Amino acid sequence: MNISLAKRAKRIVQEKCHNGKGAILFREVFKKSDFRSNVQFLHETSVIPNSTIGYHKHAGNEEVYYVIDGKGLMVVDGQEKVVGPGDAVITYGGSSHGLKNIGNKNLKILVFEAKY
């Protein structure tokens, strides 16, 4: 068993994530070495209002965004969808995605990625 005390982990500020606009804050809940599978990481991420995770392509992996709080505009392969708490989006290998915080508070998401 591995219990993460991520709430104690240092939050890292990343400017222009995937060439996006503004900043995100993230902390690593689990890293690759914590898993026995092909999962690469689990991050708790906050996208600051009016900031974005830039539109980028995935190859050889899949990534899931699960929205905990806030409001965002998710774009996957050119299709846009407003997302909020309880929404989950999967981006398959070969697909592209990006996310913009369109609310007035931090957009909090869980992000995990698995290779195949």
Sign of CA dihedral 72, 95, 90, 48: negative
How many domains does the chain fold into?
1
Cβ–Cβ under 8 Å, residues 100 and 52: yes
Q: Which domain holds residue 104?
A: 13-115
Whether 52 is in a domain gets the answer yes
- Reported as a single tens digit per residue, the pLDDT across 75-85 is 999 999 999 99
Whether 105 is in a domain gets the answer yes
Whether 60 is in a domain gets the answer yes
DSSP element (H, E) containing 58: none
Whether 5 is in a domain gets the answer no
Q: Are strands 96-101 and 88-91 parallel, antiparallel or unpaired?
A: unpaired
Higher pLDDT, 3 or 37: 37
Q: Which residue has the tokens 């400017």?
A: 15
Whether 84 is in a domain gets the answer yes
- Reported as a single tens digit per residue, the pLDDT across 84-110 is 999 999 999 999 999 999 999 999 999
If we measure between CA atoms, which residue out of 49, 56, 92 comes closest to residue 71?
49
